[in-house]
Amino acid sequence: MEFKHTSVLLNETIDSMMVRSDGIYLDGTLGGAGHSSHIASKLTTGHLYGTDQDGDAIEAATKRLEPYADKVSIIRTNYRNAVGILREMGIGGADGILLDLGVSSWQFDNGDRGFSYNTDAPLDMRMDTRKDLSAAVIVNEYPEEEIRRILRDYGEERFAPQIARGIARAREAKRIETTFELNDIIRESIPAKFRANGHPSRQTFQALRIACNDELDVLEGSLEEMADFLNPGGRLCIITFHSLEDRIVKNAFKRFEDPCICPPGFPKCVCGRVSKGKVITRKPIVPSEEEIKDNPRSRSAKLRVFERGE
């Protein structure tokens, strides 16, 4: 299956990056290189470093970026490792860093990967297929209480207790192997009158994917290192697709801009914490109605931008 993905907020992101021809850039979530191909096209003496943990994405991006091979370095790794790897390579800082979070269209549409509740497939959901932890392991081996917590915290699923109980009961009879088997359990666990608004499995699948790939902890643990790695005037651009990601990014950017922890009544700051820069997007940039019409999956996307101080 050919790796295809429609880059969300493409023009808005490239404009926000303010790409310089001699700059150093990092795309931490390379995917099919939609954003990166535009960044690379603007470089002359500059260089782009791209990372992704998905082997299929690496293959697709390598092919797409062939015209810019002398300006691009591609590394298969989780973006949490990107800054450390670049430092080891002798790179002192970046003029722009991009994260396009979530799951690509290709990952959703490829039935073998198990990301979609619309395709009957093995329960996998691993973005990095070299890892051992899959959605099937969580569903079949985690305690009921932990599954309930995952669905509540990562999926904001109001029926998390009922779904977790349904999973625990079903796996007593046989191992839950496929997405459609899980769909049936979820559907039976949710009262009929609450199944009308969207697919009943949406929030559970989101929660399992986040847990399987440790997405929120990776994001939260990477942002400060990335902000610190920016050169003066460099920008960190992050596209999120659900409220949990967006909240992490929003709060981190606010903290980077105003890190003071002195009590509100203090006449002046004495904590010694120094601002890293400024938030460019007081409100997130969202897709236009035209983009949402062309690509419905973009509807929940939000772009936030932080600029490193001089």
The pLDDT of residue 161 = 98
Domain 114-213 CATH superfamily:
Putative methyltransferase TM0872, insert domain (1.10.150.170)
Q: Which residue in this structure is represented by tokens 């691009």? A: 72
So what's the pLDDT on residue 4?
55
pLDDT tens-digit series, residues 32-89: 999 999 999 999 999 999 999 999 999 999 999 999 999 999 999 999 999 999 999 9
Domain boundaries, the chain: 10-106+215-308, 114-213
Residues of the chain scoring pLDDT < 50: 1
Euclidean distance between CA atoms 154 and 207, whole angstroms: 5
Q: What pLDDT score does 1 carry? A: 47
CB atoms within 10 A of CB 26: 31
Fold of 10-106+215-308: Rossmann fold (3.40.50)
The residue type found at 249 is V
- The pTM assigned to this predicted structure is 0.93
Number of H helices, E strands in the chain: 13, 7
Q: pLDDT tens for residues 269-283?
A: 888 889 999 999 999
* Domains 10-106+215-308 and 114-213 agree in fold: no
253 contacts 304 by C-beta, under 8 angstroms: yes
Residue for token digits 């931008």? 305
Residue 232 in tokens? 């003066």
Tell me the angle at which helices 160-173 and 179-189 cross, rounded to the nearest 10 degrees.
130
Q: Of 128, 126, 297, give the one whose Cα is nearest residue 208.
A: 126
Q: What is the structure's pLDDT at 297?
A: 87
pLDDT for the residue numbered 86: 98
Largest CA distance in the chain: 65
Residue with tokens 């120094």: 274
Return d(Cα 192, Cα 57) in angstroms, integer: 39
Question: 50 - beta bridge partners?
Answer: 27, 74
What pLDDT shows up at residue 194? 87
